[in-house]
Amino acid sequence: MDNVLNILLMLALATLFVVLLGYAIGWSARDARRRGKSPVLVCMAVILFFPWGLVAWLVFRPDPIDGGRPQGFRLEDHRLQ
């Protein structure tokens, strides 16, 4: 009985780790794209050096290209020339 609980606990922790890593990869890719950097390189750093790679990206990431303002729908962007 004790072995079963240990196995279930380890399985739950491994699942939590994989879910957190997946979320971190998705978020860092979107954030890198928004900031004009290569999402592949940022994701590789996050995967290889998790969680320190994610912390490094949070500390050293550049400013957003759009100045940090959320982009809404603008009709001028979608008109035919």
List, for residues 4-33, the tens digit of each pLDDT value.
Answer: 999 999 999 999 999 999 999 999 999 999
CB 31 within 8 A of CB 61: yes
CA 2 vs CA 9, 13, 15: distances in Å? 11, 17, 20
pLDDT of residue 71: 62
**Structural domain includes residue 77:** no
pLDDT of residue 67: 65
- How many structural domains comprise the chain? 1
**Structural domain includes residue 79:** no
Phi, psi of 6 (to 5 degrees): -65, -40
User: Which range of residues forms the domain containing residue 37?
Assistant: 2-61
**Structural domain includes residue 24:** yes
pLDDT of residue 30: 94
What is the token pair recorded at 52?
A: 């320190």
Instruction: Enter the pTM of the model.
Output: 0.72
